[in-house]
């Protein structure tokens, strides 16, 4: 393969360098800016897609840069170069002579990065499924579907009765006998929604509906699958700042999506309190009841995003941010969303198209 | 539908309520309102053993079965798993309210008061 074809195009070194630079920009400043932005809470779905694009774009660029360096002498774009390499390996049974030394090193580095990203994802998926199954097995021995009567409430008889009616209608909900106020889902094929007895007695019937609809939204939209790659990479590659920011931001945005879905599905009595206020109240009460452990303020509050916000009220994706967001009720930012989807597309398309067009 | 899961719950309930090791026959006799063959109970017990909630103790020529932990201990363990997902492990479970920071709490108190 000699350089007859490529009279136009980008020099290979510029292409590889550009891709590497893109990867660094995406994991560094771009992630930091995105984590600090305030618009995502108004367009959580678009923001989530953008985060996915940032991560995918960064991975593609980084791996692509190494591959370009490795196979550059074999062709003028990724396809022709890889076909040449494959032919040499399979038909002639020889290693392509041009891929030696530092080219070989770059290729191996790329392959290792790709393999690590992929295997971390698979490992995390397997562990997650196993952990969920173990949890579910014990859970199912301790609970039965909530057709059974709810635990005796402390409130007036009427509210207890209303709560019982809510729970009797929710056959997909299990009640766990614990005083702490907790609600959670066990996602997966055999999913479960779990409320503790403490949470049931803490909340009013309408608030309980809000919590249940929030959890149903998680399960229905398989939010666990959206969160999985972010979590998997954050656990292993947590040292890279962008990766941690992406995980924290994605987790917060997913909660906002479930909040929004819950609001649209909750039943509300005409003339009664607004549905957004009901859900916000439920969130605040569960958080204040301390069902979730409170972190000492010396520590950077679990999510680096929240910590990044400095002395402000709280990170937009924390509980307080979610409550505030529900109470404010700002219309979804449609033009921002459209622009965000476009940027996301460009981020993924750029490295892909560059590799297809090729180099000089 | 009230087959397998229901039966497992009934058997572990007997062991939890007893709080002491029992033979499979004693478990079968203690099951309320059911006439179950001891072999059926044995099958259920070995499934529960596989799930790690029941352990088998050899007692001479017989086998005794006991709950590994009490109801409360299992509940506490589940709660621990749920709360643990706030840390850096892969989150297997999704919580309604994640960990709450001190400034979060302050803001929430104000939001609730304002209602």
Nearest chain B Cα to A123, which residue? Answer: B90
Can you give the pLDDT at residue A271? 64
- Segment A207-223 mean pLDDT: 94
- Whether A304 has a pLDDT exceeding 60, the answer reads no
Contact call for A296 and B51, based on CB within 8 A: no
Q: Residue A20: what pLDDT?
A: 95
Distance of CA A320 to the CA centre of its chain: 20
Residues A322-351 pLDDT 10s = 998 998 877 778 899 999 999 999 999 999
Please give the residue that has the higher pLDDT: either A297 or A154: A154
Residues of chain B where predicted confidence (pLDDT) is lower than 50: 1
A132 neighbourhood in chain B, CB within 8 Å: 92-93
The H or E element spanning position A53 is helix A44-71
User: Distance from A36 to chain B by nearest Cα, in Å?
Assistant: 17
Choice between A175 and B103, residue whose per-residue pLDDT is larger: A175
For residue A96, the model assigns a pLDDT of 83
Grade residue A150 by pLDDT with cuts at 50, 70 and 90: very low
- pLDDT of A6: 46
Share of chain A above pLDDT 70, in %: 84
Contact B96/A215 with Cβ under 8 angstroms?
yes
pLDDT bin (cut points 50, 70, 90) of residue A216 is: very high
State the nearest Cα–Cα gap between B103 and chain A, in angstroms. Answer: 6
Question: Which pLDDT value is given to residue B91?
Answer: 66
Comparing B101 with A223, the larger pLDDT belongs to A223
pLDDT, tens digit (0-9, with 9 covering 90-100), for A179-189: 888 999 999 98
> What pLDDT score does B57 carry?
93
Q: How far is A319 from chain B (nearest CA, A)?
A: 7
Quote the percentage of chain A above a pLDDT of 90: 49
Query: Residue A240 CB: number of other CB atoms within 10 A?
Result: 16
Tell me what pLDDT residue A17 has: 94
**pLDDT average, residue stretch A23-52:** 93
The confidence score (pLDDT) of residue A156 equals 58
For residue A260, the model assigns a pLDDT of 93
Check B112 against A288: CB less than 8 A apart: yes
Between positions 271 and 300 of A, the ones with CB within 8 A of B are 277, 280-281, 283-288, 290-297
Structural domains for chain B: 4-67 (1.10.10.10), 71-113 (no CATH)
Query: Which residue is associated with the tokens 């019937």?
Result: A205
Position with higher pLDDT, A29 vs A297:
A29
Task: Indicate whether A95 pLDDT > 90.
Answer: no
Contacting residues of A for B101, CB less than 8 Å apart = 294-295, 297, 301-302, 306, 314, 318
Asked whether the predicted pLDDT for residue A301 surpasses 50, the reply is no
* pLDDT at B22 (0 to 100): 94
Tokens of B97: 């309210």
Q: What is the per-residue pLDDT across A66-85, written as a single tens digit (0 to 9) for each?
A: 999 998 888 888 889 989 88
Mean per-residue pLDDT, A20-30: 94
pLDDT band at A305 (very low <50, low <70, confident <90, very high): very low
User: Long-range contacts for A175-180 (Cβ within 8 Å, ≥24 apart)?
Assistant: A175/A143, A175/A146, A175/A148, A175/A150, A175/A151, A175/A200, A176/A139, A176/A142, A176/A143, A176/B75, A176/B78, A176/B79, A177/A142, A177/A151, A177/B71, A177/B75, A178/B75, A178/B76, A178/B79, A180/A289, A180/A290, A180/A291, A180/B79
Q: What is the reported pLDDT for A299? A: 31
pLDDT at A306: 34
Mean pLDDT of A103-124: 93
Q: Which one of A182, A215, A301 has the shortest CB-CB distance to B101?
A: A301
ipTM above 0.85, yes or no: yes
Per-residue pLDDT reduced to its tens digit, A242-285: 888 899 899 999 999 999 999 998 876 666 678 999 999 999 99
The full DSSP string for B52-75 is TSEEEEEETTEEEEEESS-HHHHH
pLDDT in the model for residue A230 = 93
Q: Do A141 and B12 touch (CB under 8 A)?
A: yes
Domain locations in chain A as residue ranges: 9-125+341-360, 143-293+302-329
**pLDDT given at position A145:** 60
């Amino acid at each position: 393969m000699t350089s007859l074809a490529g009279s136009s195009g980008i020099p290979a070194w510029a292409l590889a360098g550009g891709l590497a630079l893109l990867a660094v920009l995406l994991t560094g400043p771009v992630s930091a800016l995105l984590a600090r932005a305030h618009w995502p809470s108004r367009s959580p779905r678009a923001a989530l897609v953008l985060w996915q694009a940032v991560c995918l774009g960064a991975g593609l660029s980084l791996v692509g840069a190494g591959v370009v360096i490795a196979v550059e002498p074999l062709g003028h774009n990724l396809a022709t170069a890889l076909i040449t390499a494959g032919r040499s390996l399979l038909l002639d049974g020889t290693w392509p002579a041009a891929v030696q030394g530092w080219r070989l090193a770059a290729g191996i580095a790329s392959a290792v990065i790709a393999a690590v990203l992929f295997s971390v994802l698979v490992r995390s998926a397997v562990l997650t499924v196993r952990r969920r199954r173990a949890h579910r097995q014990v859970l199912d021995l301790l609970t039965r579907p909530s057709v059974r009567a709810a635990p005796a409430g402390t409130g007036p008889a009427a509210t207890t009765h209303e709560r019982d009616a809510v729970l009797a209608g929710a056959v997909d909900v299990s009640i766990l006998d614990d005083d702490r106020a907790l609600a959670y889902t066990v996602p997966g094929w055999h999913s479960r929604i779990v409320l503790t007895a403490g949470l049931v007695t803490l909340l009013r019937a309408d608030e309980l509906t809000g919590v249940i609809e929030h959890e149903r939204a998680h399960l229905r939209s398989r939010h666990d699958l959206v969160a999985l790659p972010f979590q998997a990479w954050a656990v292993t590659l947590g040292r890279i700042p962008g990766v941690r920011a992406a995980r924290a931001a994605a987790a917060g945005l997913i909660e906002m999506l479930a909040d929004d879905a819950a609001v649209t599905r909750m039943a509300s009595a005409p003339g009664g309190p607004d549905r957004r206020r009901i859900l916000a109240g439920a969130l605040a009460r569960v958080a204040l009841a301390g069902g979730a452990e409170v972190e000492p303020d010396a520590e950077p509050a679990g999510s680096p995003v929240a910590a990044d916000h400095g002395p402000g009220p709280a990170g937009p994706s924390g509980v307080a941010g979610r409550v505030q967001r529900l109470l404010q009720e700002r219309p979804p930012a449609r033009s921002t969303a459209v622009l965000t989807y476009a940027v996301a597309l460009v981020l993924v398309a750029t490295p892909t198209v560059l590799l297809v067009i090729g180099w000089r | 539908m009230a087959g397998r899961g229901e039966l497992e719950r009934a058997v572990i309930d007997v062991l939890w309520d007893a709080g002491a090791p029992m033979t499979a026959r004693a478990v079968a006799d203690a099951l309320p309102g059911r006439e179950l063959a001891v072999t059926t109970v044995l099958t259920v017990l070995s499934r529960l053993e596989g799930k790690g909630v029941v352990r088998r103790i050899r007692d001479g020529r017989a086998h005794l079965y006991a709950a590994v932990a009490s109801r409360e201990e299992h509940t506490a363990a589940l709660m621990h798993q749920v709360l643990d997902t706030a840390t850096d492990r892969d989150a297997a479970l999704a919580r309604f309210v994640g960990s709450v920071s001190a400034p979060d709490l302050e803001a929430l108190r104000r939001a609730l008061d304002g209602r």
